[in-house]
């Protein structure tokens, strides 16, 4: 839902980032307001996961230029756990398996960390079990998964459901869902999408990273962005995704070439 | 003392010899009362004293001790560890309901005044006489330094017989508290055919002390022993334990050892399947930090066909801590169709931490399935990040990963162990900072 007067939750300006010496993000601009759903698409390796992990605070990436503001504050100054407690959530493209750590225990500790930051009360084991049973319904997940180790031996689709369960528990203001649809069967895709729709409110915003229109058939985006070579190359409404489905990404190369010219011109101007 | 504690290898010659001599003097056997039978102990004891005087402390040149510094040992005052006046349940860890707890101090009789549950009884002195030492002979470990040292010092044996299924879990607790000195403990456990028992041994020490343990357990056909050793020490305390078990066919041994915090801990499980066809499951966890040394030398031998071994040994090492695992598995010609797996998994928390994991498979039989492996890893950055991205602080995330690593072992301790909060006890001091 687009409301021009809605508060800006996340504002990314001219973000540049490297892994080691290798530049990966080369000037990302993106603004997310409360109530909005954004989709980011783009070729493999264009930098989508890098952007999402960087926003969550992954230590592998170094920001070399630009800013990220979360509700007006400098997000990049926060440790990963502080970002999460403040309401930034990343649904991982590849959720990590953690043998020996109980999923239920992990979910409880995480939920309580967020609740404390929101000024709420910590939940004891019993109250938490009530809450988690209720939230399991959002993704129609079997309670048996709570008894297992975090993601250990979960199928691809089960891992993705577990991610959305975490989103449902943590009640984020900015949710970045990195290819949540990959690995889901047709029914699971519907269930998970319905869950995400249920969790989308006028107060939060969602950034969906996906390769496929079928997810956007279920969750209607307000904006579709195309990422290429570490930048947002084009932004439009939901019809852009349909166009990509038809045309693929070949046009991107022309777009990149011309924007490289533009950049070169700009540099030339600066030098002059 | 300080210079001894800091020296990386045994002070050669004089210091260690003097220490050993003083210990032997402190444990000079008193003459037995006329007519009193001590179950074959005195003869063995004086022989072991002579042996020790001849050989001294184990030389760290010897392969079996190559990685183990004895400095923490000879820093222990060579005296009998004083026994506190009162024994009784410590308020911080009441026994699990339904469990039988025995306090073990090497001096008083742990069975005095206790009502033993059905199936558990004191072994008759005559039997004790004839059985003491037999498991060690079967294992071929009579000459182990730990065995000799304990034999030279221990003035009494806790000798138990198990008949049928003992429904009550047994807990043997030795707490040296802040005391300084040496405490020798010896256990003889005889399990009859079809007997079954859950046994948890707890060792705690907070002073400059040395606990020396010698266990012989004999499992008759179809006997089942679930045996846990939970040992929590501090920088200045040492634990040396030799655990010898002989297994008859169709018997089951499930042995879990968990030790952490000791200046020096060395455990020597020695398991012999006397005719094969038995099941042995070994689980071990050792945690060391600062300059602590944790050493587990295990021996499993199959003397007949169709035996099974499932061994998993884990270590968590921080700071300049050191962990040694030496796992001997012997499968002679007679042990056809043996199935044995051994895995050692080590978690390093610092660059100075050191792990020496040495499998030693001696396989002569040809029709066997034996696997072994060792891994050394660090806390996984991707796992840490995943947890932090859900709001867990860096320390909390690391602690959760550590708990997860250890839980696989701790979960197989006998149930009454949960009273001692093993994860807390062992990991409290091992947290990365
Ligand atoms: N930690 C890293 N080390 C080295 N290279 C990296 C690292 N992270 C990302 N890259 C590189 O950065 C580029 C962008 O990767 P990223 O994972 O962000 O792509 P993506 O758009 O998410 O692709 P996909 O659609 O396949 O998921 C790739 O070339 C990738 O190899
Ligand atoms: Mg990606």
> What Å distances lie between residue B411 and A101, A159, B267, B418, B431, CA to CA?
12, 25, 20, 9, 20
Contact A81 B385 (CB under 8 A): no
Contact A98 B387 (CB under 8 A): yes
Residue (of B27, B70, B420, B421) closest to B186 by Cα position: B27
Q: Any idea what the CATH number is for the domain that residue A262 is in?
A: 3.40.50.300
Q: Is residue A3 part of a domain?
A: no
Contact B406 A117 (CB under 8 A): no
Residue of the CA atom closest to atom 6 of ligand 1: A19
Distance CA A16, CA A65 (A): 5
Sign of the CA dihedral running B138, B142, B147, B151:
positive
For the Cβ of A48 lying below 6 angstroms from any atom of ligand 1, the answer is: yes
**8 A C-beta contact, residue B274 and residue B213:** no
- Nearest Cα of chain B lies from the Cα of A77 at a distance, in angstroms, of 15
CB burial of residue B89 (10 Å; 0-12, 13-18, 19+): exposed
For the Cβ of A231 lying below 6 angstroms from any atom of ligand 1, the answer is: no
- Domain parsing of chain B, residue ranges: 15-427
A120 phi/psi in degrees, rounded to 5: -95, -170
Enclosing H/E stretch for A90: strand A88-91
pLDDT attached to residue A271: 40
Residue (of B335, B401, B323) closest to B362 by Cα position: B335
Residue of the CA atom closest to atom 16 of ligand 1: A47
Q: Which chain B positions have a beta carbon within 8 Å of A149's beta carbon?
A: 404
Q: What pLDDT, in 10s, does the model give residues B235-272? A: 999 999 999 999 999 999 999 999 999 999 999 999 99
Distance CA A235, CA A221 (A): 12
B275 phi/psi in degrees, rounded to 5: -130, 25
Pairing of strands B196-204, B170-175: parallel
Residue (of A113, A118, A104, A112) closest to A173 by Cα position: A118
- Nearest Cα of chain B lies from the Cα of A261 at a distance, in angstroms, of 38
Q: Which chain B positions have a beta carbon within 8 Å of A109's beta carbon?
A: 391-392, 396, 400
Residue B145 has pLDDT above 50, yes or no: yes
DSSP 8-state code for residue B367: S
Q: Is residue A177 part of a domain?
A: yes
Q: Is residue A216 part of a domain?
A: yes
Numbered residues of chain B with Cβ closer than 8 Å to any chain A Cβ: 380-383, 385-394, 396-397, 400-401, 403-408
Interface confidence: ipTM more than 0.90:
yes
3-state class percentages of chain A: helix first, strand second, coil last, to nearest 5: 45, 30, 30
Ligand nearest to the CA of A53: 1
pLDDT attached to residue B5: 32
Q: Is residue A50 part of a domain?
A: yes
B12 or B181: which carries more pLDDT confidence?
B181
Q: Is residue A220 part of a domain?
A: yes
Sign of the CA dihedral running B258, B327, B404, B199:
negative
Q: How far is the CA of A156 from the centre of ligand 1 (A)?
A: 20
Instruction: Indicate which of B390, B392, B401, B406 best probes the interface with A, i.e. most A CBs within 10 Å of its own CB.
Output: B390
Q: Pick A100's closest partner by Cβ from B385, B392, B405.
A: B405
Distance CA B334, CA B277 (A): 12
The per-residue DSSP string of B181-222 comes to EEEEEEEEEEE-TT-EEEEEEEEE--SSEEEEEEEEEEE-TT
- Lowest mean pLDDT of A45-59, A91-105, B80-94, B393-407, name the range: B80-94
A81 phi/psi in degrees, rounded to 5: -70, -30
The per-residue DSSP string of B284-335 comes to EEEEE-TT-EEEEEEEEEE-SSS-EEEEEEEEEE-TT-EEEEEEEEEE-TT-
Average pLDDT over residues B355-367: 93
The b/e string for A23-54 (b: 16+ C-beta within 10 A; e otherwise) is: bbbbbbebbbbbbbbbbbbbeeebbbbbbbbb
Distance CA A74, CA B67 (A): 51
- Nearest Cα of chain A lies from the Cα of B66 at a distance, in angstroms, of 33
Which residue of B lies nearest to A169 if distances are taken between CA atoms?
B390
Q: Is residue A57 part of a domain?
A: yes
Nearest ligand 1 atom, CA A43: 25
Q: What pLDDT, in 10s, does the model give residues A81-137? A: 999 999 999 999 999 999 989 999 999 999 999 999 999 999 999 999 999 999 999
Q: How far is the CA of A53 from the centre of ligand 1 (A)?
A: 10
Residue B227 has pLDDT above 90, yes or no: yes
- Nearest Cα of chain A lies from the Cα of B406 at a distance, in angstroms, of 8
Token pair of B364 as six digits: 């002569």
Token pair of B197 as six digits: 């028992």
Helix/strand/coil for A13: strand
Enclosing H/E stretch for B44: helix B41-55
Q: How many CB atoms are located within 10 Å of the residue B409 CB?
A: 22
Instruction: Indicate which of A78, A80, A169 best probes the interface with B, i.e. most B CBs within 10 Å of its own CB.
Output: A80
Contact B394 A84 (CB under 8 A): no
What's the domain count of chain A?
1
CB burial of residue A5 (10 Å; 0-12, 13-18, 19+): exposed
Q: How far is the CA of A230 from the centre of ligand 1 (A)?
A: 10
Chains A–B, number of C-beta pairs less than 8 Å apart: 78
Distance CA A162, CA A195 (A): 12
The per-residue DSSP string of B379-422 comes to --HHHHHHHHTTT--HHHHHHHHHHHHHHHHHTTS-GGGGGG-H
Q: What is the dihedral of CA B189, B192, B197, B203, to 10 degrees?
A: 10
Residue (of B26, B25, B27, B5) closest to B15 by Cα position: B5
Q: How far is the CA of A94 from the centre of ligand 2 (A)?
A: 9
- Reported pTM: 0.84
Residue A251 has pLDDT above 80, yes or no: yes
Pairing of strands B322-331, B209-219: unpaired
Helix/strand/coil for A219: coil
Q: Which chain B positions have a beta carbon within 8 Å of A90's beta carbon?
A: 389
Residue (of A230, A238, A233) closest to A19 by Cα position: A230
What is the average pLDDT value for chain A, to the nearest integer?
A: 93
Token pair of B85 as six digits: 């006046």
Q: What pLDDT, in 10s, does the model give residues A174-233? A: 999 999 999 899 999 999 999 999 999 999 999 999 999 999 999 999 999 999 999 999
A126 phi/psi in degrees, rounded to 5: -70, -45
pLDDT-derived band of residue B12, with 50, 70 and 90 as boundaries?
Answer: low
Q: How far is the CA of A51 from the centre of ligand 1 (A)?
A: 9
pLDDT-derived band of residue A260, with 50, 70 and 90 as boundaries?
Answer: low
For the Cβ of A50 lying below 6 angstroms from any atom of ligand 1, the answer is: yes
Nearest ligand 1 atom, CA A60: 1
Sheet containing strand B308-317, strands side by side: B100-103, B170-175, B196-204, B224-232, B252-260, B279-288, B308-317, B339-348, B369-378
Distance CA B413, CA B284 (A): 10
pLDDT-derived band of residue A262, with 50, 70 and 90 as boundaries?
Answer: low
Range of the domain at A176: 8-271
**8 A C-beta contact, residue B289 and residue B319:** yes
The per-residue DSSP string of B240-282 comes to EEEEEEEE-TT-EEEEEEEEES-SEEEEEEEEEEBTB--EEEE
pLDDT-derived band of residue A153, with 50, 70 and 90 as boundaries?
Answer: very high
- Nearest Cα of chain A lies from the Cα of B399 at a distance, in angstroms, of 10
**8 A C-beta contact, residue B276 and residue B335:** yes
The b/e string for A185-212 (b: 16+ C-beta within 10 A; e otherwise) is: eeebbebbbebbeebbeeebbbbbbbbe
Numbered residues of chain A with Cβ closer than 8 Å to any chain B Cβ: 56-59, 79-81, 83-85, 90, 92, 95-96, 98-101, 105-106, 109-110, 113-114, 117, 149-150, 166, 170
Q: What pLDDT, in 10s, does the model give residues B97-141? A: 789 999 999 989 999 999 999 999 999 989 998 999 999 999 999
**8 A C-beta contact, residue B352 and residue B317:** no
């Amino acid at each position: 839902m687009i409301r021009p007067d809605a508060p800006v939750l996340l504002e990314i300006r001219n973000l540049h980032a490297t892994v080691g010496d290798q530049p990966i993000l080369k000037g990302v601009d993106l603004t997310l307001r409360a109530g909005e759903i954004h989709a980011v698409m783009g070729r493999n390796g264009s930098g989508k996961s890098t952007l999402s992990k960087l926003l969550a605070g992954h230590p592998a990436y170094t920001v070399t230029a630009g800013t990220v503001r979360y509700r007006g504050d400098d997000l990049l100054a926060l440790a990963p756990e502080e970002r999460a407690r403040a309401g930034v959530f990343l649904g991982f493209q590849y959720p990590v398996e953690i043998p020996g750590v109980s999923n239920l225990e992990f979910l409880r500790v995480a939920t309580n960390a967020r609740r404390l930051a929101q000024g709420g009360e910590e939940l004891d084991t019993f109250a938490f079990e009530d809450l988690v049973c209720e939230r399991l319904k959002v993704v129609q997940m079997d309670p048996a998964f709570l008894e297992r180790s975090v993601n250990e031996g979960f199928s691809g689709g089960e891992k993705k459901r577990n991610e959305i369960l975490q989103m449902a528990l943590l009640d984020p203001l900015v949710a970045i869902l990195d290819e949540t649809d990959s690995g889901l069967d047709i029914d699971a895709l519907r269930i998970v999408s319905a869950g995400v729709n249920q969790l989308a409110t006028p107060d939060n915003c969602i950034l969906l990273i996906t390769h496929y229109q079928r997810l956007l058939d279920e969750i209607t985006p307000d904006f579709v962005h195309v990422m290429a070579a570490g930048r947002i190359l084009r932004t439009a409404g939901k019809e852009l995704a349909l166009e990509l489905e038809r045309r693929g990404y070949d046009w991107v190369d022309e777009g990149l070439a011309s924007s490289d010219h533009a950049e070169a011109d700009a540099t030339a101007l600066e030098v002059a | 003392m300080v210079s001894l504690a800091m020296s990386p290898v045994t002070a050669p010659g004089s210091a260690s010899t003097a220490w050993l001599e003083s210990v032997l003097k402190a444990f000079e056997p008193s003459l037995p009362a006329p007519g009193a039978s001590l179950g074959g102990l005195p003869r063995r004891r004086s022989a072991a004293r002579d042996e020790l005087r001849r050989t001294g402390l184990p030389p760290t040149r010897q392969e079996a001790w190559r990685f183990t510094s004895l400095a923490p040992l000879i820093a222990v005052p060579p005296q009998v560890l004083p026994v506190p006046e009162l024994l009784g349940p410590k308020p911080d860890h009441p026994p699990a309901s339904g469990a039988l707890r025995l306090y073990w101090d090497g001096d008083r009789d742990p069975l005095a005044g206790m009502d033993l549950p059905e199936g558990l009884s004191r072994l008759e002195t005559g039997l004790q006489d004839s059985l003491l030492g037999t498991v060690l002979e079967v294992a071929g470990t009579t000459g182990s330094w730990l065995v000799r040292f304990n034999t030279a010092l221990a003035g009494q044996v806790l000798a138990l017989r198990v008949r049928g299924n003992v429904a009550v879990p047994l807990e043997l607790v030795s707490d040296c508290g802040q005391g300084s000195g040496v405490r020798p403990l010896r256990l003889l456990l005889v399990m009859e055919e079809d007997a079954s028992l859950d046994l948890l041994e707890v060792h705690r020490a907070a002073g400059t002390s040395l606990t020396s343990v010698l266990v012989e357990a004999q499992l008759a056909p179809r006997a089942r022993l679930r045996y846990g050793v939970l040992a929590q020490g501090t920088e200045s305390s040492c634990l040396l334990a030799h655990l010898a078990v002989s297994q008859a066919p169709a018997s089951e041994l499930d042995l879990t050892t968990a030790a952490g915090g000791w200046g020096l801990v060395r455990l020597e499980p020695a398991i012999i399947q006397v005719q094969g066809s038995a099941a042995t499951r070994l689980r071990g966890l050792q945690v060391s930090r600062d300059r602590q040394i944790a050493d587990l030398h295990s021996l499993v031998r199959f003397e007949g066909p169709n035996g099974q071994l499932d061994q998993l040994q884990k270590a968590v090492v921080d700071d300049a801590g050191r962990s040694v695992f030496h796992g001997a598995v012997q499968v002679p010609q007679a042990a056809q169709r043996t199935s044995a797996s051994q895995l050692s998994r080590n978690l390093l928390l610092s660059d100075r931490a050191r792990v020496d994991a040495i499998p030693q498979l001696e396989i002569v039989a040809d029709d066997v399935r034996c696997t072994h492996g060792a891994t050394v890893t660090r806390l996984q950055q991707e796992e840490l990040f995943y947890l932090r991205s859900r709001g867990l602080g860096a320390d909390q995330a690391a602690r959760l990963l550590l708990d997860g690593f250890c839980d696989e072992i701790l979960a197989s301790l006998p149930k009454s162990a949960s009273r001692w909060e093993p994860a807390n006890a062992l990991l409290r001091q091992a947290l990365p900072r």
